[in-house]
Amino acid sequence: MADRKAFALRLDPALHDAIQRAAAGNLRSTNAEIEVLLREALARRGIRLAPADLPKRGRPPAAS
- Between CA 27 and CA 25 the distance in angstroms is 6
Average pLDDT on 47-54 reads 80
- Between CA 1 and CA 16 the distance in angstroms is 28
Confidence of residue 1 (pLDDT cuts 50, 70, 90): very low
pLDDT per position as a tens digit, 23-50: 999 999 999 999 999 999 999 999 988 8
Give the residue extent of every domain in the chain: 13-44
DSSP, collapsed to helix, strand or coil, labels residue 29 as coil
pLDDT of residue 51: 77
- Between CA 8 and CA 58 the distance in angstroms is 30
pLDDT of residue 48: 87
The CA-based angle 49-10-38, given to 5 degrees, is 20
pLDDT of residue 2: 57
Which phi and psi angles does 23 have, rounded to 5°? -60, -45
